[in-house]
Structure 1
Amino acid sequence: MTAPQLSFDELGTPLREVTFVVLDLETTGGSHERDGITEVGAVKVRGGEELGELGTLVDPGTGIPPNVVALTGITTAMVRTAPRLPAVLPSVLEFLTGAVLVAHNAPFDSGFLRSACERHGQVWPRPPVLCTARLARAVLTRDECPSVRLGALARHFGTRTQPNHRALSDARATVEVLHHLLERVGNLGVQSLEELLALTREASAHRPTQRQRQKRHLAEQVPSAPGVYLFRGPREEVLYVGTSGDLRRRVRSYFTAGERRSRIRDMVALAERVDSVVCAHALEAGVRELRLLAAHKPKYNRRSRNPGRTWWVAPTAETFPRLSVVTSAREGALGPFASHRSAATALDTLLDAVPLRRCTQRIPARAPSASPCMLHELGKCGAPCAGLQTPEEYAPAVESLRSLVHGASDDPLHRLARGVDELAGKERFEEAAGDRDRLAALISALERRQTLAELAAQPELVGARPDGRGGWELAVVRYGQLAAADVARRAVRPMPVVEALRAGAQTILPGEGPLHGAPPEEVRLIYRWLTTGGTRLVYCEPWSEPARGAARWSRWALKAREGTEAGRSAVEVLAGRG
């Protein structure tokens, strides 16, 4: 009986709960495409205890080369009465069911089995594969053990079974080597199957640093619950913010071999404390993360460089309004956009859709008589700057923009689509493709704005999502912001929990702009939660999307984003819209 494995803490799939099948194959040569299997040996272990063995000779259907006979001692006469591989393979696959396949030089053995399945009509179960040679190289230094061949490792660890190029003996020796290696990985912070597999995939340069190992105690007081965690530095500054369904598990992963990002390793080296905020469910955790990122702007979060920074396309407050890119969500603005560049592109497309002026000068109500610019001559501007257009005559252009943004009319989209058709009909395919892509981007922006604005206009709604365990995740949303969150566990009546949640929910007053003051990322996160995962609306005032909004064009925009060819293919897509 082999020595039992060490006890590991809970993190991912604990190693003590993993079933390993340690396998060794003897073959007629080195290629799984040309050569056959002559012997199979396998040992099943879990928690350091042996659960079973499987060993058999296999008739490869061909003679065994002399050099292989000299190495393994398996002769053609020995395998002549052995079963053929099609008879052995089902037993081997059954033995592997639900286990991790372990082998020394695992790609060789797993490659032979996978190829055998393909040839003999068996389904390869795709088990997780662990290579003890790679694990040894990740765990042992070259000074300690220059070679990671099975024989060298067996001598290094002093295993009771010595490998002799027979399948079952080599598998037994590999079991002992595996257990000795598993005793070592705890020092590298590896405590789960997931971390163990990651360790073998990476070079030794990705071992946890000494500083990482020294900071493992920071996770000791973190609870195993969903929520948000904050790494704090020596001056109490927030270094990093993240979320997880299991805070303790996630925080502990920062001190293991699984964490390979150099930026985060630097952060861990600076950290002095980890704070946690337990949340009811993932939505609350996500919202709290967004709010903490905006409040602290942690140095090591990539998304915190410009937290909450969005751009909008809005009409100016003038007698003859024009469009401008702004960072504040004014009433009637289109957005939000993630970058100034995407907002500027949308502005240009809007000016092709609605007849607003393109110049940037301020024009008084009584414009002086002047010569109009070339845009007027091209029929793209009414020349209010030259007094050729009154505020009343200019007003329909402003109303056209308002109707498009609010979803009251999609006539401007039809005009732009006809322009794509005309270019394609003239075989100006590159121009058609460019206009098609800009129109698709505008449609996506309009749909996003209209969808989020409708949600942000709701004074209150309550959503309930199945938690997958017979209970419900609950959320109260007011004016696009999370006001309260809780759960109704299995066998608990949800409606009393809902009523208590509503009574104690945060009061939120509506603000200015299309989203009534709600942060765009938070509204977007809540919208996804409400419209996916089987979420049901428990309480809600009338909530609808505009009948002539951009959602009608979403199929067309999707086809364009997928890269529909320019030209006549664009005509075909347009013909199918609606």
Structure 2
Amino acid sequence: MSFDELGRPLRDLTFCVVDLETTGGSAAGGSMITEVGAVKVRGGEVLGEFQTLVNPHAAIPPFIAVLTGISDSMVATAPSIETVLPAFLEFARGCVLVAHNAPFDVGFLQHFAAQQQRPWPAFEVVDTARLARRVITRDDAPNCKLSSLAVAFGSTTTPDHRALSDARATVDVLHGLMERLGGLGVHTLEELSTFSSKVSPAVRRKRHLAEHLPHAPGVYLFRDEQERVLYVGTSRDLRTRVRTYFTASENRARMGEMVRIATSVSHVVCATPLEARVRELRLIAAHTPKYNRRSRRPDKVHWLKLTVEPWPRLSLVRKVADDGADYLGPFGSRRTAERCVDALHESFPLRQCTGRLPLLPSRAPCVLAEMGRCLSPCDGSVDLDTYADLVARVRTALVADADAVVEALTARMQRLAGDERFEEAGSHRDRLAAFVRSASRTQRLGSLTRCPEVVAARREDDRRWAVHVVRHGRLAAAGVIPVEAHAGDWVTQLRASAETVVPGPGPAPAATAEETEQILRWLEQPGVRLVHVEGDWTSPARGAGRHLQVHDAVEASRRDLVPFDERRNLATTHQPVR
């Protein structure tokens, strides 16, 4: 393996340890730098030092002058930050920046770089205060202040709130922390950056499981001794992501348990991040890993069906049949599906009884008919043509125009609110939101599912063109156009080698709904170019999607208006107290 694959050893890196003295605690609030001190070290050897006072062009507060010993007269002839900053950046070029409480010192430097319209170098930063909080115990030092750590590690320099002295003390603290972390198996900058004391030595020793993984997008699979898949994940950088499981703190208890059980990690390299996300979904569905909570059972869904029979009705079914019926879904939750049914029954007086009715029914009407909420085909109160007109309006609401449902439930909510029946109004609001979101989702999925093929390309962050071939809502091929290739010929070859996809029944995509949604999110990004479209990729102009903004705003306001310390799950239906 190359050194890049092993990580960057700490002993080979050059660190620039920096410390600032300032007139206050906030650069954005007008505080200025009064002194910069820095020490450059590599492999324990000091390579150089940088120190200068800085003229803040403002009076130094008396308590700051007492604390640092820097007075107005001392900085009167000192250079300004406009002169000091470029000199410091040149001194620190190519180094890893180190500071004690780095957000403070680095934040000041970045603020003045931006003020001078000077590009900030892509420094990697190590914060010795943050590291110390992960390593130092109460037995080692009473706290993680620089003065306490300098004593704990036997620094030859006593911090005295002068920039160079504090930087020298921070060098000793850095070396002391590295020595202690070396005994815990931390030898590279990558391991140092992700170190957490919460990771047990046994788990940390497993970091070799990531060494064979490439720095590429793809899917990783944790396996146990019997080669059973424990967990499936995806990343733009397989090696970097998997290493974090062994070197960084994992707050999820289940993941910590999974890592302790895992004995190997396999992977699938993918051409694009979208292909990686799709493969992740397919592998989770195929292996149903114990430690993946989502996407394990994509088949456990419900669909809302407008039946095909003389007297159609709404029915919840588990699968889509190729029967010419209209469907809404899929729903991952039966409760959401039932809310959609309730929303439609509030808007249209369809029959709600189960089972098929004969063409000439002759039984007594139910209570819904007496309440005027059903046209009552069971007792012959309505003829076939009138009922068919009603069914046509329901079909329009499902597939093309949700206005009838929105207007009916909005009017109902207004009446209930006027009568101060706010809880009932809230229930109708949730039914309407469930219907709008579900109808919009079905219309978006169906529009892509109906297309035999869509080929699209997008220039990704690395400036290369990623191309995806989508057939009936399923990802059939993915790739990145090589720099030297003829784009048209390359796309033609990709289409020729793409998976053959047989369309699913009715509106169901040839993939899972979650996969098709991932594809849609990619296609709807700015910068995507359609290369080839077979079929009509269209959505209804008056579809449910145009009502989403209102319901999303309502949901956001419900979250934001709740006091922070009382924020909780805002579902309007509650489990009974047991």
Which secondary structure does the structure 2 equivalent of 1:344 belong to? Answer: helix
**Residue 423 of structure 1 is aligned with which of 415, 420, 436?**
415
Q: What displacement does 1:95 show? A: 3.5
| Equivalence for 2:481 | 488
Which secondary structure does the structure 1 equivalent of 2:246 belong to? Answer: coil
For 1:11 and 1:544, how far apart are their aligned partners in 2?
50
| Equivalence for 2:573 | none
Contact 1:437 1:560 in 2 (8 A): no
Q: What displacement does 1:147 show? A: 6.4
| Equivalence for 1:568 | none
Q: 1:281 to 1:313 in 2, by over 3 A?
A: same
For 1:456 and 1:94, how far apart are their aligned partners in 2?
60
Contact 2:303 2:328 in 1 (8 A): yes
Could you report, residue by residue, the CA deviation over 1:492-545 in whole angstroms, capped at 9, with x for unpaired residues?
222212111121211111221312443111111111112214222211123222
Contact 1:28 1:64 in 2 (8 A): no
**Residue 271 of structure 1 is aligned with which of 256, 259, 262?**
262
Q: Is 1:135 aligned to 2:131, yes or no?
A: yes
Could you report, residue by residue, the CA deviation over 1:31-70 in whole angstroms, capped at 9, with x for unpaired residues?
99999987543345678774651332778846867x986x
For 2:77 and 2:217, how far apart are their aligned partners in 1?
53
Q: Is 1:356 aligned to 2:350, yes or no?
A: yes
In the alignment of these two chains, the number of paired residues is 545
Which secondary structure does the structure 1 equivalent of 2:368 belong to? Answer: helix
Letter in 2 for 1:447: S
Superposed, which structure 2 residues align to 1:37-116 within 5 Å?
39-43=35-39, 50=47, 53-56=50-53, 61=59, 74=69, 80-83=73-76, 87-88=80-81, 91=84, 95=88, 102-104=98-100
Q: Is 1:505 aligned to 2:498, yes or no?
A: yes
Q: What displacement does 1:163 show? A: 4.0
Identity percentage of aligned residues: 47
**Residue 335 of structure 1 is aligned with which of 329, 333, 344?**
329
Which secondary structure does the structure 1 equivalent of 2:222 belong to? Answer: strand
Q: Is 1:448 aligned to 2:448, yes or no?
A: no
For 2:530 and 2:116, how far apart are their aligned partners in 1?
47
Contact 1:440 1:556 in 2 (8 A): no
For 1:260 and 1:425, how far apart are their aligned partners in 2?
44
Superposed, which structure 2 residues align to 1:30-429 within 5 Å?
39-43=35-39, 50=47, 53-56=50-53, 61=59, 74=69, 80-83=73-76, 87-88=80-81, 91=84, 95=88, 102-104=98-100, 130-141=126-137, 148=144, 150=146, 153-154=149-150, 157=153, 159=155, 161-163=157-159, 165-185=161-181, 188=184, 196=192, 199=195, 204=197, 206=198, 208-316=199-307, 318-330=309-321, 331-360=325-354, 362-370=356-364, 372-407=365-400, 409-410=401-402, 412-413=404-405, 415-416=407-408, 419=411, 423=415
For 1:15 and 1:534, how far apart are their aligned partners in 2?
41
Could you report, residue by residue, the CA deviation over 1:129-151 in whole angstroms, capped at 9, with x for unpaired residues?
75423422423455566765545
416-425 or 212-221: bigger deviation: 416-425
For 2:16 and 2:52, how far apart are their aligned partners in 1?
12
For 2:30 and 2:448, how far apart are their aligned partners in 1?
63
Q: What displacement does 1:110 show? A: 7.3
**Root mean square deviation, CA, Å:** 4.4
Could you report, residue by residue, the CA deviation over 1:306-335 in whole angstroms, capped at 9, with x for unpaired residues?
344322211345543322223223441101
Letter in 1 for 2:17: V
Q: TM-score, normalised by structure 2?
A: 0.79
For 2:26 and 2:545, how far apart are their aligned partners in 1?
56
**Structure 1: any 5+ residue segments left out of the alignment?**
1-6, 566-578
**Structure 2: any 5+ residue segments left out of the alignment?**
560-578
Contact 1:189 1:256 in 2 (8 A): no
Q: What displacement does 1:399 show? A: 2.2
Q: What displacement does 1:449 show? A: 0.6
Which secondary structure does the structure 2 equivalent of 1:302 belong to? Answer: coil
Q: Is 1:464 aligned to 2:457, yes or no?
A: yes
| Equivalence for 1:22 | 17
Q: 1:516 to 1:105 in 2, by over 3 A?
A: closer
177-186 or 83-92: bigger deviation: 83-92
Which secondary structure does the structure 2 equivalent of 1:368 belong to? Answer: coil
Letter in 2 for 1:138: R
For 1:14 and 1:398, how far apart are their aligned partners in 2?
71
Q: What displacement does 1:219 show? A: 1.3
For 2:410 and 2:30, how far apart are their aligned partners in 1?
61
For 1:75 and 1:382, how far apart are their aligned partners in 2?
89
Contact 1:462 1:537 in 2 (8 A): yes
For 1:337 and 1:220, how far apart are their aligned partners in 2?
41
For 2:238 and 2:304, how far apart are their aligned partners in 1?
40
Which secondary structure does the structure 2 equivalent of 1:215 belong to? Answer: helix
Contact 1:314 1:332 in 2 (8 A): yes
Letter in 2 for 1:228: V
Contact 1:42 1:55 in 2 (8 A): no
For 2:77 and 2:339, how far apart are their aligned partners in 1?
67
For 1:81 and 1:411, how far apart are their aligned partners in 2?
74
| Equivalence for 2:523 | 530
Which secondary structure does the structure 2 equivalent of 1:320 belong to? Answer: coil
Q: 1:425 to 1:242 in 2, by over 3 A?
A: closer
Could you report, residue by residue, the CA deviation over 1:443-489 in whole angstroms, capped at 9, with x for unpaired residues?
22212111111211111221212123342111211111111222112
For 1:422 and 1:61, how far apart are their aligned partners in 2?
63
For 1:375 and 1:511, how far apart are their aligned partners in 2?
37
| Equivalence for 1:569 | none
Contact 1:161 1:169 in 2 (8 A): yes
Q: 1:20 to 1:336 in 2, by over 3 A?
A: farther
| Equivalence for 1:575 | none
**Residue 550 of structure 1 is aligned with which of 540, 544, 556?**
544
Contact 1:315 1:324 in 2 (8 A): yes
Q: What displacement does 1:8 show? A: 7.9
| Equivalence for 2:532 | 539
Q: TM-score, normalised by structure 1?
A: 0.79
Letter in 1 for 2:532: Y
Q: What displacement does 1:180 show? A: 3.9
For 2:77 and 2:298, how far apart are their aligned partners in 1?
65
Q: What displacement does 1:220 show? A: 1.9
Q: 1:503 to 1:51 in 2, by over 3 A?
A: farther
Could you report, residue by residue, the CA deviation over 1:237-277 in whole angstroms, capped at 9, with x for unpaired residues?
10000111111111111111243432212111111111111
Contact 1:293 1:307 in 2 (8 A): no
For 1:312 and 1:490, how far apart are their aligned partners in 2?
45
Contact 1:367 1:387 in 2 (8 A): yes
For 2:547 and 2:32, how far apart are their aligned partners in 1?
59
Q: 1:85 to 1:135 in 2, by over 3 A?
A: farther
